[in-house]
Chains A and B, each alone.
Chain A
């Protein structure tokens, strides 16, 4: 039905898509996997019209089409569900659903809000979401937003007579397990009407949902696997071009921590509206993992350790004494390093180069009386580029132009080179390809060996289990259960989920 034939796309210096063939049949769910930089997002952008192919052709039911913009793609029944934050938060749900297609509700130049609300309710029913369409989007939870996103794409049903192709870009990254299940069952139902292209880093989900899986590497499709033949190992092998270490999470490198010393002590700490009555100790060499759903208070705890949140009650001690003021400077001064989830916004400064980013948190170490010793900065950057195998042409490269994994390495290098020994990791492997993930896992182990304590909010439960010495399960801001996980004696997925929900 929908076909790409020998599609080519080049950017200055990059051959992003190399003669890609891609097809999807009516009612089919096609998975698309590949490492970061393999060309997945470029391919998707070509499909939904954000990019135009340089070579090859796109056909729908045999007819050649060419999209100048996403709008034209939509007119041919191609819609895109973006990662979580693609709804405009200051608009109502119904405005978001019909954004760009308000004309159908306009009579004599006036928007008929009632008609739009009714139509929006119809769309929301399709995704089984029972909310008032006039709700301002910022008041919704992330999961609800994801469903609204899907409802929005499903307006194509009414608008387009022919077949639909819906792209799902990492739709599950912010969803809890049961929400994922709901989404999947919805998608399966909807195959009566539409075909889906499903992009995710979570291999298990791709395997579960897809009829066929396209594997991409270096801008080319290296394999197409049918659902029944799909094996995680084989696919990962194709993606990475090598075998994935059986000991993915580096469990064999896990060493016992030093329980005599305490880096961070939480004693019945609460932050109003975020979490309450949390206690734990973090020891040198320990990976302490906070597990819970979105909104369970995980991030707020990280931010409290860093000094960005002020506890409303209880005491927080970092290296033996509590903060006098809640700000990040004091945290950094005591050796706390924060690797935020929003890497591009909070992790690196887009617009500053590699060495500038690496010394940002520790400029004092590279300056005399406020005057920078730039030579030393560069030397530091070179050392860490080598040590962490950061892929950058030189130290002058703008960090905004690096790939996600390399950006993350720069962030980690920033803290480690500054001697931080309490490292807060918020989704450190989010959006990274397998190779980069393994590098991060290696670094976590190395940091532990160096005596650093790590508080981790992991991307997946497997990751949490694999990496941690200690797991705290949280639910709605309250402590549920503590697990100790020494190598070979780790809690199971089921144990955790049981306490999370």
Chain B
């Protein structure tokens, strides 16, 4: 029975164990400001994972997020001078629309989200390549600082990125657990047919979930673009798999209806700890990938709650 009670906390426990392990081997890991900075740096990844949580929470997946973010870095860079801070609206709108179209293709055309979002990602990539003229673009530094300088920097030692992440997390958490929409998401993830039979507009809910993941991808892309002060069609590469891994390690399985945004927070932190442990523990360059894979297996084996899964596929 005690193990049953521990289950919801397994991701947290895994995180703490990992942190202690790395810290025990290399105590310099415990520098609080450095840790804070470490966490601040993964904010775009975390936002991406937050969005991915919605897609996975309803039992789907969104593979277009990385390309949406790529597109957004280009859009943000190209139109910053013209629209200033309002370029954010264009970016977020683009993410929302792409996500909604993915959702529409999945729900109304019965194309599995794995393929639908992958294909939508290709379309977004085309857009990014076209708009960027196939070049790496950089933002006008003055315009960037004037419009988005507030995204970075510190207040009372707290990096602003963390504040943004915190706000987004709070919004996502509120959406998930305090709104009819979040409740509907859970119903769709855990029992879609029952949701239909209860008169929920399931299609719209699913389309909204993908639209949300697209929106978060756009926010992540925008932040990343501002951080790097530029954009190109490949800038956000490398986000996708890590975002998925972060969600899964956090304990939101692909079956849907279980887990949530708080899990994603833990999952992202676990991924980041593993990754920076490679640097802190000076893991041999040719071994890093393999060790990442093995630790991942161990972490997932520890964090997933199998009691909600009838059949493990």
Contacts and interface: CB of A to CB of B under 8 A. Distances in A.
Question: A and B: partners?
Answer: yes
Given A364-B180, A367-B180, A374-B178, A352 B197 contact: no
Nearest to B188: A349
Interface residues of B, number: 25
Contacts of A297: none
B181 A370 contact: yes
Contact of B308 (A351, A367, A371): A351
16 contacts: A12-B1, A332-B199, A348-B191, A349-B195, A349-B257, A350-B191, A351-B186, A351-B308, A352-B186, A352-B187, A352-B191, A356-B183, A356-B187, A361-B200, A363-B180, A372-B183
Contacts of A352: 186-187, 190-191, 257
B269 interface: no
A349 B187 contact: yes
A333 interface: yes
B125 to A, nearest CB: 34
B309 to A, nearest CB: 11
Interface string B88-130: 0000000000000000000000000000000000000000000
Contacts, number: 83
B195 A331 contact: no
Given A329-B199, A414-B198, 11 more contacts: A328-B198, A331-B199, A333-B199, A347-B197, A349-B186, A349-B190, A349-B194, A352-B190, A360-B187, A363-B180, A364-B180
Interface string A363-377: 110010011101000
Please classify the interface of chain B as helix (H, G, I), strand (E, B), loop, or mixed, using the class held by over half of its residues. Answer: helix
A428 interface: no
Contacts of A342: 193
A340 interface: yes
B289 interface: no
Nearest to B257: A351
* Chain A interface category by residue count: 20 to 34
A363 B195 CA distance: 12
Contacts of A364: 180
Contacts of A12: 1, 4
A186 B77 CA distance: 77
Interface string B158-199: 000000000000000000001111011011011101111111
B201 interface: yes
B258 interface: yes
B197 to A, nearest CB: 4
Contacts of B199: 328-329, 331-333, 361
Interface of B: 1, 4, 178-181, 183-184, 186-187, 189-191, 193-201, 257-258, 308
A338 interface: yes
A243 interface: no
A347 B183 CA distance: 16
A61 interface: no
Interface string A293-321: 00000000000001010000000000000
A329 B197 contact: no
Nearest to B187: A349
A347 B194 contact: yes
Contacts of A112: none
Contact of B200 (A308, A329, A367): A329
A414 B194 CA distance: 12
Contacts of A462: none
Contacts of A110: none
Given A342-B193, A350-B190, A372-B178, A360 B198 contact: yes
Contacts of A14: none
Contact of B198 (A351, A361, A370): A361
A346 interface: yes
A414 B187 CA distance: 14
Contacts of A414: 198
B196 to A, nearest CB: 6
Contacts of A329: 199-201
A279 B173 CA distance: 49
* Interface-centre pick from B180, B186, B191 (highest chain A CB count, 10 A): B191
Contacts of B4: 12
B121 to A, nearest CB: 30
A346 B194 contact: yes
Interface in A63-117: none
Contacts of B258: 351
Contacts of A371: 178-180
A363 B199 CA distance: 11
A331 B1 CA distance: 44
Shortest 7 CB-CB contacts between residues of A and residues of B:
A332-B199, A351-B190, A349-B191, A361-B198, A363-B180, A346-B197, A360-B198
